[in-house]
Amino acid sequence: MTEKPLTESQIVDELTRLPGWKLEKDRIVKDFEFKHFAEAMSFLVRLAFECERRSHHPEIYNLYNRVSIGLNTHEAGNKVTQSDIALAKDIEHFSWRS
């Protein structure tokens, strides 16, 4: 069953409870900064396991100690769904920042 995309107002409401996340071009995005490269890589490994468990594959960019994540759901026409919000909430629980 394919999830329905959230409306912009639903997304904006959800983002009020997700510090640092913002809506950008049909995806929710956040930039993370870590103390060093190894810490960023350990975050990415943890993220990879969580995404694979959910069969969710976000856009990820890494440069040294910085990681940028973009979430949307391919099966919903590359729009934001409740699955993206749920993953962002879980990321907030396991992320660590300097």
Residue count (the chain)? 98
Distance CA 90, CA 4 (A): 20
Instruction: Tell me which of 52, 59, 90, 93 is the catalytic residue.
Output: 52
Respond yes or no: is residue 13 known to be catalytic. Answer: no
Is beta strand 28-33 parallel, antiparallel or unpaired with respect to 22-23?
antiparallel
36 is known as an active-site residue: no
Q: Rounded distance, CA 1 to CA 25, Å?
A: 24
57 in catalytic set: yes
* Catalytic member of 8, 24, 33, 57: 57
Our answer to whether residue 52 is catalytic in this structure is yes
Question: Which residue among the candidates 14, 84, 90, 93 is catalytic per the annotation?
Answer: 84
Kindly name the residue from 56, 59, 90, 92 that is annotated as catalytic. Answer: 56
> Can 90 be counted among the known catalytic residues?
no
Known catalytic residue: 84? yes
Catalytic residue among 24, 33, 59, 75: 75
Q: Provide the H-helix boundaries in 1-98.
A: 8-15, 37-54, 82-94
Residues with catalytic function: 52, 56-57, 74-75, 84
